[in-house]
Amino acid sequence: MRIQRILHSLVLGCLLAACAHDEHGRAGRAGRRTLQLENVVALDDAGQPILARPERLSVGRDGSLYIADFSDKNVKVYAPRGRRSRTVGGPGRGPGEFQALMTAQVYGDSLAAFDFLDRRLSVFAPGGRFARTIPLSRLGFAPFSVRVVDDSLFLAIAAMPGGERNDALALVRPDGEVVSTFFKLSRYLGSSPMVLQNVGVIADATGGVVFAGVAGGDSVWAFDYEGRRLGAAPVDPVAPLVTTRALLEGNGGKLARGDGSYVVDGIRNLVGLVAIDSGTVAMQVAPYDANTGTDPVEGGTFIVAALANGRLDTIARGELQGALAGRDRQGAALVLRYAGASQDRYTISRLRIAAAATAGSGAP
Amino acid sequence: MIRAGVAGVLCACLGVLAWRHVAGIRSPRPALPRMVVEGSKPGGSSTVSLHGTLTSRAYAHAEAVSRGADAIVIVLRDRDRRACEDLGRQLRELQREAGPRMLAMVTTDSAASEMYVRYLRREHVRATVVVLSPDSVLEGYPGLPTPAVLVRHGTSANGVAHPVRFPNLRLISFAAELRPLLR
């Protein structure tokens, strides 16, 4: 009787697993599951200058929220309930100051922030005081951005043009030692300076996997920390992206058309990428405005892809307001969006994969 | 009689023309912008001081925006928005310094106005965008250096321009330079 019950449970378990696998597979191929936002916290700047151009959001061990502000050249820190608690760094050229703050993320109990113009990765102590810089001189390229992977690794991302000639990604230890380099893009991007000036690498890593794409490209790749390719796929299989290279080559290598408009204007671009866990990546695609740039906070198409058997399959897709900005400590992607039409307050939401959409429900 | 009248009118016209010609030569032209170079300060350089009178069109726009009160007039050309990575931060700082009482308007040419609306919204700068060529803001300054920020009081306007580009950061900001005028 007991053996029969165990066998019954095993069969039921296998059936459920098979159903789940089938569901996952079908969802992957068709992108049938959609995405929803679940509010986490509303930000309150408490009378201080509000977040102007958020670039990256991360969550500290105590639940504090750290957001790099590219325009204000500082890092705005919010208590777990959303009230602004302090500001780290500021505009300038001295230690702990920024000219072009590309990203800032929690690093252990500290904060690591990268300045593109100074090529400087600064570490701030828990209280916000500048502590030291992490050397990046052993990289084989000029970094455009640096992501915190974990307490012992950073992911350096090469600037274009220049970075395409060698590997465009490198994993670096806090003492500056380069662990691995990979992601050679010369064949994918070509050598046209016009193409290279209008593309940029976007990458993130966690749990042993690096996910990478190109703003101005059409694909996403996954690598292990040794740089071995684990899989690749189109960023958006439902509505494939058109590459900047194809657009420029179709216009005789020129950015501007005869009427003065730009070939890249209005084209859907990869604007955000967050590694959720060792097998899943969240991406944001939004139309590119050649005149004013893209404001990711205005939203776009969000795509979640999962790595399995050497493939990256889209498992969910949806149109959402907000910018894909980071992940929480439980591994959920976080989205930063405006709280209202006045755009003077933000909320942070968690990206959730919703149940499969029924046929004809309108979900893409 | 008629001939005498026509001759009189002609003489009068010639007299007026002659007077205007002489007056044009003799009357002082608007002062040229004063150049103040800050080469010794890191991150700062080539601030151009501007002192002048608003054109009638600029004055009308300023009146409509601020209803007679002092106002900030931000003068931009399209290249300023493209090239100045620090413009948004500087304009927000300027508005904080001026306080909510002093309203701001951005003048730019018609081709760029919609882009400016989007740009200012993204940068969280509250200002009314008006279509007015930067060359038509101040009397006698057809080549007004930009980006420029003027504080207008009645028909007069005083301020500074930052025509030299600094990648990403200009340490000496509009707000710092215009602080005495904003209080």
ipTM topping 0.85: no
Confidence of residue A357 (pLDDT cuts 50, 70, 90): low
Q: Shortest CA distance to B144 belongs to which of B132, B126, B129, B130?
A: B132
What residues of chain A have any CB closer than 8 angstroms to a CB in chain B? 49-50, 52-53, 71-73, 91-93, 98-100, 117, 289, 291-293, 295, 343-344
8 A C-beta contact, residue A270 and residue A214:
yes
Contact yes or no for B122 and A295 at CB 8 A? yes
CA B51 to chain centre: 9
Better-scored residue on pLDDT, A18 or A284: A284
In this model, does residue B20 exceed pLDDT 50?
no
Among B169, B171, B172, the residue to mutate for chain A (most A Cβ within 10 A): B169
The more confidently predicted of residues A242 and B165 is: A242
Phi, psi of B86 (to 5 degrees): -100, 0
Is A314's pLDDT higher than 70? yes
CB atoms within 10 A of CB A81: 12
Angle at A296 between CA A293 and CA A301, to 5 degrees: 115
Q: Over range A160-179, report the average pLDDT.
A: 91
Q: Rounded mean pLDDT of chain A?
A: 88
State how far Cα A228 lies from the chain centre: 20
In this complex, do A344 and B119 lie within 8 Å of one another by their Cβ atoms? no
A294, pLDDT greater than 80: yes
Pairing mode of beta strands B103-108, B128-131: parallel
Give yes or no for B42 touching A (CB within 8 A). Answer: yes
Q: Which of B138, B179, B145 is nearest to B164 (CA)?
A: B145
> Does B169 contact A at CB distance below 8 Å?
yes
**CA pair distance A364, A210, nearest whole angstrom:** 27
**Which one of A51, A261, A291 makes the best mutation probe of the B interface by having the most chain B beta carbons within 10 Å?**
A291
| Residue B57 identity | R
Alpha-carbon gap: B44 to the closest alpha carbon of chain A (Å): 12
SS3 label, residue B58: helix
Strand order in the sheet with A178-184: A143-150, A153-158, A167-172, A178-184
pTM greater than the 0.80 cutoff: yes
Residues A116-139 have a mean pLDDT of: 94
Chain mean pLDDT for chain B: 77
Do A295 and A269 form a contact (C-beta atoms < 8 A)?
no
pLDDT of the residue at A225: 97
Does pLDDT of B177 surpass 80? yes
Inter-chain contact B92–A72, Cβ cutoff 8 Å? yes
Q: Count H helices, E strands: chain A?
A: 4, 26
Contacting residues for A340 by C-beta, under 8 A, at least 6 apart:
none
Mean predicted confidence (pLDDT) in A27-43: 79
Asked if B169's CB is within 8 angstroms of A53's CB, the reply is no
Q: B51-72 pLDDT, tens per residue?
A: 999 999 999 999 999 888 999 9
User: Cα(A139)–Cα(A125) distance, rounded to whole angstroms?
Assistant: 25
Q: How confident is the model at residue A97 (pLDDT cuts 50, 70, 90)?
A: very high
Task: Tell me the pLDDT band of B44, cut-offs 50, 70 and 90.
Answer: very low
**Residues B68, A289: Cα–Cα separation, whole Å:** 37
* Statement: residue A16 has pLDDT above 60: no
Structure tokens at A4: 């029969």
Question: How many CB pairs (< 8 A) connect A and B?
Answer: 53
Closest-CA distance, B67 to chain A, in angstroms, reads: 23
pLDDT at B4: 53
- Interchain contact B168–A (C-beta under 8 A): yes
- Say whether residue B15 is in contact with chain A using an 8 A CB cutoff: no
Query: Which residues of chain A does B95 touch, with a Cβ-Cβ cutoff of 8 Å?
Result: none
